[in-house]
Each structure stands twice: as structure tokens, then as C-alpha cells.
Amino acid sequence: MPRDVSSVLHRVFRELEGPAVEAVKSFLDFLRSQRALSPATVRSYGADLAQWLLFLKDLLGRSRLEMDDLSEASLRRFVFHRHPRLAKSSQARALATYRSFFRFLMERHGLERNPARSLRSPKATVTVPAFLDVDDMSAFLDTLQRRALAPSAPWIAVRDWALFETLYSTGLRVGELVRLNHAHIDMHEGMVRTVGKGAKERIVPIGSKALEAIGCYLSAFRNQWQGPYNQEALFLNARGGRLSDRSVRRLLTERLREAGQWRPLSPHGIRHSFATHLLGSGADLRSIQEMLGHAGLSTTQRYTKVDLDRLMSVYDAAHPRSRKEGP
């Protein structure tokens, strides 16, 4: 199954037919070829549309879906059925999918109006994902380093140190991290080249500690590995293939627990730690935006909430005129 086809969409292509299904296929092809969206984004779009088509199959009692079945009434009924079970962010993403799909049909297939245009997106609540403070992050990475440099340490232990040092040092998305090849890292200049959302290439710095860890990892791998392996990929799994983003999530949970940190944290949480620590040390938002690969500054600005909360806490605790008086 292609990386950008979810299991639910695969089921749609297997069980359903008709012009509506072909329109979805055409739309996803457009996203891949014309808009150059990442496989993960295409997968999300496809999954949202697949859920609607399966709902229509059950509602109408047939597996052939016509274009007329993609009506505003059927979409509203589906949204009323499914969206209360979704987080607000997922609701907003799904509605954006429907609007984009119908805009495509208007431009390419002569649809006269957008049935999703009148649907309101839920008011988003700005949330700041979990992250580690500087001390906890340093303690975590130091634990990985000690294990990696222990006598007779397996190359996988050294890989884990290099993996999470690189993630924290660069602020890459987990998908960007696992797609790194040897050719993407300039060990001499301390730079990493990556391709992010929208197939946009960017160059980000990588610190000396991460470069040291990568060097140790490559040396340990060469000394211990026997057999064929993926010679392009930087981070490899135990079978010599490219490490997957799912494996990185699992490894992070396991290594955090082994280091005595039980707080749930995703690889994206390390990316947030990267940005928050830079901001707290005086880096400007525009530079952080460029390093993170955010298309707009508004996405980066969520990190200011973390830093402002910290500053207000310090101010309230230290300033003699900040005390909140009771009624």
C-alpha cells in the first residue's frame, strides 16, 4: 500500500465505485502532483474523504456513489454524525479537506457551488504541547550518552543517542528526521539540509554535540554491523533498513522511561522543546520560524505563551509590587 494511502481509503477503493470515488482519486492525484503535498498530508486528506464515502455507502445502501450523492445535505449529516467524536483540531482539518475537495471539483469538474462553504469551523483553542525544560532535556540526553559510550555498548544504543541529539539540535519534524540521508548532513559546516511540508527545502544548523553523537554512531555501526543495509539512510533499524517515524515514537517513550522520566512526550514535544529553549535564550521568532520550517509566523508564536508564562511566574515571585492583593 502506498505511504499516502490510509487503510480506510484502501478499503474505499476496494469496496466502492462510481464517479464520486473517481473524483476522490483525481483530487488526491492533484494534491500529489500539482500541490506537492507530503505523503502524510495526502494520507490525512484521503482518510477524511474516505470516512464520508463509507458513511454514504451505509446511508444509501449501495456501493456505487454518484456525484449527486456528494451534496450539502449528505455532508451536513455526516459532519453531525462524526465530528462530535473528534477533537476541535481534527474537526477543523476535516472541514478544510472538504472545502479543498469541492474547490477542486469546481475548478476541474464544473461543480457550480461549494457545499462545504457554509459549514463553520470550530473555534480553535491554542494548546502548547508537552515539552521538557532545559534541565530535564539535558539529563535525558546525558543518560543516552553515558549508555552509548559504555564499554561494549551495542551500536543501537549509540544510534539512539545520535537520534535524539539530532532531533533536539535541529528541531526537525519526525518525518524529516527519518528521511535524512548521509548526503543531507555537512559534518564540517554543521548544517543539515531537509525537505519539509510542501516539498520546501531548508537548511538548519546542527550542534557539535549532535555531530559528535552521529560520528560515534557511524563508527559503532561500521565496527559491529555485518550484512547488507540501506547505505543512503542515516538512521537505521535493527535490520539495516531506514528507521520509521513510528519506531522513533516508540523509542522515545522507552528511553524516557529508562531515564526515569515518565511524562508522556512525543517527538514533536522535543521539537517544541527546541523552539521554546531557543526563545527563552533570546532567539527571535523569525529565526525560529525559519529553522522550524513554518510557513507563517503565527504558528511559531504559540511558543511565546510558554515563555510569557515563565516570565510572569518569575515576575510575580520576585517583584515587590507584583503581589496580588486579596479582596
Instruction: Decide if 315 is catalytic.
Output: no
Return d(Cα 196, Cα 201) in angstroms, integer. Answer: 6
Q: Which of 98, 168, 217, 303 is catalytic?
A: 303
Q: Residues 6 or more apart from 300 whose CB is under 8 A from it?
A: 275, 285, 288, 289, 292, 294
Q: Which of 268, 272, 321, 324 is catalytic?
A: 268
Q: Which of 103, 197, 242, 302 is catalytic?
A: 197
Q: Which of 43, 255, 272, 294 is catalytic?
A: 294
Q: Which of 159, 179, 271, 272 is catalytic?
A: 271
Cβ-contact 210, 165 below 8 angstroms = yes
Instruction: Decide if 120 is catalytic.
Output: no
Instruction: Decide if 99 is catalytic.
Output: no
Instruction: Decide if 11 is catalytic.
Output: no
Instruction: Decide if 303 is catalytic.
Output: yes
Q: Which of 43, 98, 168, 173 is catalytic?
A: 173
Query: What are the distances in angstroms from CA 304 to CA 137, 266, 293, 307?
Result: 19, 20, 17, 5
Return d(Cα 229, Cα 123) in angstroms, integer. Answer: 48
Instruction: Decide if 85 is catalytic.
Output: no
**Residue position matching grid coordinates 492525484:** 29
Could you list the active site residues?
Answer: 173, 197, 268, 271, 294, 303
